[in-house]
Structure 1
């Protein structure tokens, strides 16, 4: 049976940063659990006794709720990939935020929201490592992002980001975004799920245990994302430009041979040559034709 744990004791930094924190011992998927709470009106709704609006006269629309789990048994990645975990090894956290519907309808800017979340996770990892007195292996490259949602270290996958839009009960002008992140924190080399996977403990020295790292990373992520979302809501087009400028130097995919797998089963091979203003990726195919990719699973074929 799923149990709700004492988040104030186990994730004190995150509790200080977020408006509400729910910590579960085990869950199928933190994203699914969070989305269900939004649909039921428990989060951001008008009647949820346990929601962020409970006991408040009004919901501001700028709350951030964090939902974390020690174990995830049916986690989902982008394009229905799976992400499972066992206790004590992983960072499994979903943040629930809201943005104006008008931003989500503007396809020239809405694609940046997931990448902004990824950039903030990247910064949170680096900041948390420094906070904990850890040091990166000098032989390992920096943390980068593989378009559009994977967190990489020197060409190996440390984690991923999945953002999903969920309508808010009784609210027509804002929509919830559930942003889930899974990170390999303390998985031994021989237990990594795939050859190209990486775990934080394998590249950083002197880290505390996974629970402490989860709290440190989540707290920084909440703080960073809160600031970025406020800026994005104030001027989404300005922030889209800012996001692109920040993403280009840390985008692992750019300049590399890659293969894009689309939901209809087709595949595109070529070289990633540009990150566009609307957050899409331009791939130059093997005939030299430039193809704009907005939704696909893009794998890097060579470094």
Structure 2
């Protein structure tokens, strides 16, 4: 059975920045666990006000919603784990982890339903989270006097790359809030390889932060440093996004374009219906979709696909 750890002792900086922090020793998936807490009304719901039991029998008094009389809907809740046994990525990809070597953190936030139904802007939310995670990684490395040997970039739409290899990924999912018609919960999960040795990386095209940076602290100290920066940065960006989503979509596109590792490269898009498309990624569009130009010069707008880069 999973154990709840002392988050104030292990992730002290994150506990100051977030509204709630729940740290588990092991979990199937932090995103799934967080989504269950939302569905049961423990997070952002009326049931959580008195610290009732949440997913898998976890009581609010042990870290979820403890001491809160009501949710305003603008909180940021952190669900972190030392080990994840059934991690999920976008399009049902898996994410493996080993205790003490990975960043496994999900944030639970909420957004107006009206914004999330607006396809012209809603696609940027995951990319805003990715951009803020990139900033958090770079900033945390600098906090400890470390240096990066490779640029940290983003592969459309949700992967974090360094040196042409995958460092981690971001997965955002919407979860309905019980008895709440105007806001929806967004669970944003991030998995990062922090201190995974080269010989134990899951695939050849993956990397670990310790392999692309120098003078890093202990991985769990680094986890706290990255998480606190991510919470702080995303809190500001989410408030701006809710205030004016179209303005923030423009801002996100401007920020993402120069750090998008996919742009300008030959790539192959794999769609859920089994079809594929090869071509060159030429543009990020206003709605966060990607334009791929095929060999005949025809432009294709791609919104949902697994896009792999064929050449650096």
Give runs of aligned pairs for residues 145-164 of structure 1, distance below 5 A: 145-164=154-173
1:205 is the counterpart of 2:214: yes
Task: Report the counterpart of residue 122 of structure 2 in structure 1.
Answer: 110
What SS does the aligned partner of 1:207 have? coil
Task: Report the counterpart of residue 83 of structure 1 in structure 2.
Answer: 95
Deviation at 1:55, TM superposition (A): 4.5
How many correspondences in the alignment?
300
Contact 1:257/1:269, CA 8 A, preserved across alignment: yes
Contact 1:44/1:53, CA 8 A, preserved across alignment: no
Deviation at 1:166, TM superposition (A): 0.1
Task: Report the counterpart of residue 26 of structure 1 in structure 2.
Answer: 26
What SS does the aligned partner of 2:46 have? coil
Q: TM-score, normalised by structure 1?
A: 0.97
CA–CA distance in 2 between the matches of 1:203 and 1:255? 23
Deviation at 1:264, TM superposition (A): 0.7
1:138-164: CA deviations, max 9, x gaps?
xx3x11000000000121110000000
Contact 2:74/2:110, CA 8 A, preserved across alignment: yes
CA–CA distance in 2 between the matches of 1:143 and 1:33? 29
Task: Report the counterpart of residue 101 of structure 1 in structure 2.
Answer: 113
Contact 1:160/1:182, CA 8 A, preserved across alignment: yes
- Residue from 233, 241, 244 that aligns with 1:232: 241
1:66-102: CA deviations, max 9, x gaps?
0000000000000000001110110000000000000
Task: Report the counterpart of residue 215 of structure 1 in structure 2.
Answer: 224
Task: Report the counterpart of residue 104 of structure 2 in structure 1.
Answer: 92
Give the stretch that moved more between structures: 51-60 or 211-220: 51-60
CA–CA distance in 1 between the matches of 2:148 and 2:19? 32
1:182-228: CA deviations, max 9, x gaps?
00000111111111111001111111111001000000000000000
For structure 1, the 5+ residue unaligned runs are none
CA–CA distance in 1 between the matches of 2:23 and 2:65? 19
Deviation at 1:56, TM superposition (A): 4.1
Task: Report the counterpart of residue 259 of structure 1 in structure 2.
Answer: 268
1:180 is the counterpart of 2:192: no
CA–CA distance in 2 between the matches of 1:219 and 1:25? 19
Q: Over aligned residues, Cα RMSD in angstroms?
A: 1.0
CA–CA distance in 2 between the matches of 1:127 and 1:180? 19
Contact 1:52/1:63, CA 8 A, preserved across alignment: no
What SS does the aligned partner of 1:60 have? coil
Q: TM-score, normalised by structure 2?
A: 0.94
Deviation at 1:58, TM superposition (A): 3.6
Contact 1:44/1:52, CA 8 A, preserved across alignment: no
Task: Report the counterpart of residue 298 of structure 2 in structure 1.
Answer: 289
Moved over 6 A (4+): none
